[in-house]
Amino acid sequence: MLDLTERKRVEKAARESERRNSEMQMELAHANRVATMGQLSASIAHEVSQPIGAAATNTSAALRWLRRRPPNVEEALLALDQIAHNTERASEIFGRIRAFVTKAPQRKDSFEINEAIREVIELSQAEVQKNGISVAMTLGEGSPIIEGDRVQLQQVMLNLINNAAQAMLTVGAESRELVICTTKIESNGICVAVRDTGPGLDPANLENAFKAFYTTKPGGLGMGLAICRSIIEAHGGRLWASANTPRGATFQFTLPVQGGGVAEAAPPR
What was the pLDDT predicted at 234? 85
Which region, left, alpha or beta, applies to residue 213 given φ > 0 means left and ψ of -120 to 50 means alpha? left
- Would you write out the chain's pLDDT as a tens digit for each of its 269 residues? 556 777 777 777 777 777 765 665 565 555 545 545 555 565 566 667 778 888 888 899 999 999 999 999 999 999 999 898 888 878 777 766 666 555 445 667 889 999 999 888 887 877 788 888 888 888 887 778 888 888 888 888 888 988 888 888 888 877 899 999 999 887 678 999 999 988 887 766 666 666 654 444 444 434 467 778 888 888 889 999 888 877 888 999 999 987 654 444 444 33
pTM attached to this predicted model: 0.58
